[in-house]
Structure 1
Amino acid sequence: MSRRWIPICRVEDIPRLGARRVQRPGDIDVAVFRNAEDKIFALVDRCPHKGGPLSQGLVHGETVACPLHNWQIDLADGCARTPDVGCIPRFAVQVQDGQIHLDADELMS
């Protein structure tokens, strides 16, 4: 089954080491992150620990630090780094010609 990609924003619309929130149906948004190497990641915008908004966290390398309790969440798989445990859903991302796209079906589910 092929993916239906929808444009979200341009890479430069997200500051390096920052994030942008994308609204979706329901009460849990998506956080789209950009690291120092311009890699783009997308995760549910909720820490698996206490639900902190990851889009407000600090990005370093390929992790984001939850702003509530500093849990380190891996941007590639959405899982907390040891010694913490727990994972959140991640989303498929595609970048074409500087435009970030997310999978439409994943966003709507």
Structure 2
Amino acid sequence: MNMISPIFTDVGALADIPRLGARCVKTAMGDIAIFRTADDRVFALRDQCPHKHGPLSQGIVHGTSVTCPLHAWVISLETGEVEGPDDGCTKRFSVKLENGRVLLAVAP
């Protein structure tokens, strides 16, 4: 089985994203929100709530979730799934940290 490895692109320093905050990265695939948790983990989601397309990068990060700024839907940073009682999902992207830099998988 031949697996294609993702291509990671440096999108900035972890220090540039506040703890419990986010940064929006514009890509050919659309805007992607990079989130930083209180314990310095990073997650990446399409910067669009599945409800009314609110900008998740402007939401409130708590634990491993983000609350959409428009209608308070709560989305898991780990899965992209909306947490009950609502239903929906936003696309996740692979992201990792290397030497204090945030690397985002933008292809394939």
| TM surpasses 0.5 | yes
Distance 2:35 2:86 in 1: 21
AA aligned opposite 1:61: G
2:81 equivalent in structure 1? 79
1:55 equivalent in structure 2? 57
1:101 equivalent in structure 2? 103
Distance 2:6 2:55 in 1: 27
Distance 1:3 1:75 in 2: 20
RMSD: 1.1
Match status 1:4 vs 2:7: yes
Distance 1:34 1:102 in 2: 13
Name the % identity. 49
Query: TM-score when scaled to structure 1?
Result: 0.92
Secondary structure of the residue aligned to 2:75 is: strand
Secondary structure of the residue aligned to 1:104 is: strand
Segments of structure 2 that go 5 or more residues without pairing to the other structure are none
Query: By how many angstroms is 1:25 displaced?
Result: 2.0
Give 1:34-49 correspondences, 5 Å limit: 34-49=36-51
Greater fraction helix:
1
Query: TM-score when scaled to structure 2?
Result: 0.93
Distance 1:24 1:104 in 2: 8
2:23 equivalent in structure 1? 20
Distance 1:61 1:38 in 2: 11
- Runs of 4+ more than 6 Å apart: none
AA aligned opposite 1:102: L
Distance 2:51 2:5 in 1: 33
Distance 1:60 1:84 in 2: 18
Segments of structure 1 that go 5 or more residues without pairing to the other structure are none
